[in-house]
Chains A and B, each alone.
Chain A
Amino acid sequence: MNLESLLYFIQQLLNGLTLGSAYALIAIGYTMVYGIIGMINFAHGEIYMIGTYVAFLAITALAMLGIEYLPVVFLFALMSSVLVSSAFGWSLERVAYRPLRGSNRLIPLISAIGMSIFLQNYVRLGQGSRDLAMPSLVTGGWTFGPEDGFQASLSYMQLLIFVVTFVSMTALTLFIARSRMGKACRAVSQDIGMASLLGINTNRVISATFVIGAALAAVAGVLLGMQYGVANPFIGFIAGLKAFTAAVLGGIGSIPGAMLGAMILGIAESMTAAYFTTEYKDVVAFGLLVLILLFRPTGLLGKPEVEKI
């Protein structure tokens, strides 16, 4: 392998990991909600989309006030996006899922699809259905390689995505492992009835799960919004579907699984786009999902469900 093709490969790997990081942030929401109440929240992609929109609005608002100092803009966008999306995530569960708890599994699923359509159109009516564009805030990066040949580059934006994802995932892992609410989350996901009988307010735990998932999706929304610079009310659909695929790939219900699945999916996509054709990247992504479901239905890190007696 010569230097040029090595650099090209490294570049694809970096792109894949960036994409995978964003998928991982969204996938957590799917996997945690599934782990706790066993439903697929198909409106989760819309929470991500709302996160992007709020970030755009926040950045525009600051720009109108003349504030353009990057750390301030980024933190403000991140915080407002996380707050608004969390509120949406919380309300979503309260309004659309809690009243249906205990009913047939299909019913909350249909409710989720309904909420997804509702949220898309809610944003479409408020913000218009055309693409919203924004100049990139974070520009520049490092390049490696010879002057006259192919140069691999790591942009500052990609670095920011890695760092923020890493920090979020570490915080989440510590939260689940150490905190009281984290312990309660694990207890509820294993046996919701027993958790309740031991005095855990399971409704609060479920709400917390939705809020955490929504907050992480909002982080992804801010980061990917800044990376791509465009948003429209329909970006949540495909991003949500990809993140869902990542969650299933890694083993739905498992948090490390979602992270792993997202990275594999991101890398598979960028490699397909680089070595094959861009058009086929979705085919590969969903083809992977089909293969996993055929040969390892519990996902990479999922454990087969033990029949309860």
Chain B
Amino acid sequence: MLSVNGISMQFGGLLAVNGVSLEVNQDEIVSIIGPNGAGKTTVFNCISGFYRPTAGAITFNGQAIHNLPDFKISRLGMVRTFQHVRLFNKMTVIENLLVAQHRHLNTNLLSGLFKTPAYRRQEDKAMERAAYWLRKVDLLEFANREAGTLAYGQQRRLEIARCMVTEPDILLLDEPAAGLNPRETKDLDELILSIRHCYNVSVLLIEHDMGLVMGISDRIYVVNQGTPLASGAPDDIKANPDVIKAYLGES
């Protein structure tokens, strides 16, 4: 469903990503791993339309997306998180989930002014979906709190809920376990698996927590210094001598 063909990203003289290709199929959990500065996040930025790749092509559900603005890519059903939490801190938890459903709300200003039945129906549905996901990530009791006042782990979960209310086909998670304690990481692990299992959402993951990556990924891509190094099932990657060398250094 998502296919990245030899994308490169050049910043001035720096080639941050060089010819990376990857494939994510329906209902798959795919991870990108690599040492710090390998260009993993840059790949994410290219896919989600945050950057425009300098070479290569990206197609999503059969449509070329590498020249689309980010909000259009998102409306096609792709949504992402960042390494650090980026909630709308001064809005309430529930508002964070409502505002994310904009792409589903295709009514105009007039219908909002007169509160037509269609408009109300959409509002109700948006609210229902938001409440559903709050329950799912165990944040329902905080619905009217300002998002910025939540604990870190809760903010992380709210971010995933905010992605899910957009009803995406694919979820891009950039280091979702960063800063979580082992218990929270385990919860996250289950959440990601259930997202794939219950909602048929594919997941593309960047993560340093090898326990998490090896445990849930169907396939893994390894990038090093912007170039693809290896790809395959978790067990193959674990045994790959190039990967071991890149991670542990020459020995």
Q: Which A residues are closer than 8 A to B by beta carbons?
A: 179-181, 183-184, 186-187, 190-191, 193-202, 309
Using Cβ atoms and an 8 Å threshold, which residues of chain A touch B82? Answer: 194
Known: A180-B102, A181-B109. A199 touches B74 (CB 8 A): yes
> Nearest 7 pairs between A and B by C-beta?
A199-B103, A199-B74, A183-B99, A187-B99, A198-B100, A194-B86, A190-B88
The answer to the question of B185 belonging to the interface, with a C-beta cut-off of 8 Å to chain A, is no
Number of A-B contacts (CB under 8 A): 73
B70 adjacent to A197 (CB under 8 Å)? yes
Question: Are A196 and B112 in contact, with the CB atoms below 8 A?
Answer: no
**Distance in Å: Cβ of B106 to nearest Cβ of chain A:** 11
Question: B166 near A199 (CB under 8 angstroms)?
Answer: yes
User: B91, A186: Cβ atoms under 8 Å?
Assistant: yes
- A200 and B99: CB pair below 8 A? yes
Give B50-80 interface residues, CB cut-off 8 Å to A: 50, 69-71, 74-75, 79-80
Output the least CB separation between A98 and chain B (Å). 13
Residue among B88, B105, B109 making CB contact with A194, cutoff 8 Å: B88
With a CB–CB cut-off of 8 A, which chain A residues contact B49?
197
Number of interface residues of B (CB under 8 A): 28
Docked Cα-Cα span, A183 to B112, in Å, equals 13
Residue pair B71, A184 in contact (C-beta under 8 Å)? no
**A201 to chain B: which residues have CB within 8 Å?**
71, 102
A183→B74 contact, CB < 8 A:
no
Contact A197 B79 (CB under 8 A): yes
A191 lies within 8 A of B88 (CB): yes
- Could you tell me if A186 and B90 are in contact, using CB atoms closer than 8 angstroms? yes
CB <8 Å contact, A180 and B48 = no
Residue contact A199 to B71, C-beta cutoff 8 Å: yes
**What is the CB-to-nearest-CB distance from B227 to chain A, in angstroms, rounded to a whole number?**
27
Which residue in B50, B74, B84, B105 is a CB contact (below 8 Å) of A309? B84
In the complex, which of the residues B70, B74, B90, B112 contacts A180, with contact meaning CB atoms closer than 8 Å? Answer: B112
**Docked-complex contact A197 and B80, CB < 8 angstroms:** yes
* B169 proximal to A (CB < 8 A): no
Contacts of A200 in B (CB 8 A): 71, 99, 102-103
Do the beta carbons of B79 and A198 come within 8 Å of each other? yes
Q: Are B100 and A199 in contact (CB under 8 A)?
A: yes
Question: Across the interface, which residues of B come within 8 angstroms of A183, CB to CB?
Answer: 91, 95, 98-99
Least Cβ–Cβ distance between A32 and chain B, in angstroms? 15
Cα distance, A184 to B91, chains bound together (Å)? 11
Q: B157 contacts the other chain (Cβ, under 8 Å)?
A: no
Task: Determine if B219 is an interface residue (Cβ-Cβ < 8 Å).
Answer: no
Question: Which chain B residues in 25-59 approach chain A with CB under 8 Å?
Answer: 48-50
Complex CA gap A179/B89 in Å reads 18
A191 to B86, CA, bound (A): 8
Identity of the chain A residue whose Cβ is nearest the Cβ of B96 in the assembled complex: A187
Q: Assuming A180-B105, A184-B102, is B70 touching A190 (CB within 8 A)?
A: no
State whether A196 touches B74 (Cβ < 8 A). Answer: yes
- A202: nearest chain-B partner, CB-CB: B71
Cβ–Cβ contact B102 & A186, under 8 A = no
Which of A184, A187, A199: most chain B CB closer than 10 A? A199
Bound-complex Cα distance A180 to B109 (A):
9
Interface centre among A184, A187, A193, A197 (most CB of B within 10 A): A197
Asked, given contacts A181-B109, A190-B90, whether A197 binds B98 with beta carbons under 8 Å apart, the answer is: no
Question: Which of chain A's residues have a CB closer than 8 A to the CB of B166?
Answer: 198-199
Contact of B50 with A198 in the complex, beta carbons under 8 Å: no
The answer to whether A198 and B99 touch (CB under 8 A), given A186-B88, A187-B88, is yes
**CA gap between A197 and B88 in the complex, in Å:** 13
A194 to B45, CA, bound (A): 12
B156 at interface, CB cutoff 8 A: no
Q: Determine which residue in B75, B80, B88 has the highest number of CB atoms from chain A within 10 A of its CB, and name it.
A: B88
Q: How far is the CA of A194 from the CA of B159 in the complex (A)?
A: 11
A-B contact pairs, 12 of them (CB 8 A): A181-B109, A183-B91, A187-B88, A191-B88, A193-B86, A196-B69, A196-B74, A198-B71, A199-B74, A199-B102, A199-B103, A200-B71
* A241 CB, min distance to chain B CBs, angstroms: 29
Please pick, from B74, B90, B112, the residue contacting A179 in the complex, using a CB distance under 8 A.
B112
- Contacting pair A198 B102 (CB below 8 A): yes
Contacts of B71 in A (CB 8 A): 196-202
B79 cross-chain contacts in A, Cβ below 8 A: 197-199
A184-B102, A198-B103 known; 20 other A-B pairs, CB under 8 Å?
Answer: A180-B98, A181-B112, A183-B99, A186-B91, A186-B99, A190-B88, A190-B90, A190-B91, A191-B86, A193-B70, A194-B82, A195-B88, A198-B71, A198-B74, A198-B79, A198-B166, A199-B75, A200-B102, A202-B71, A309-B84
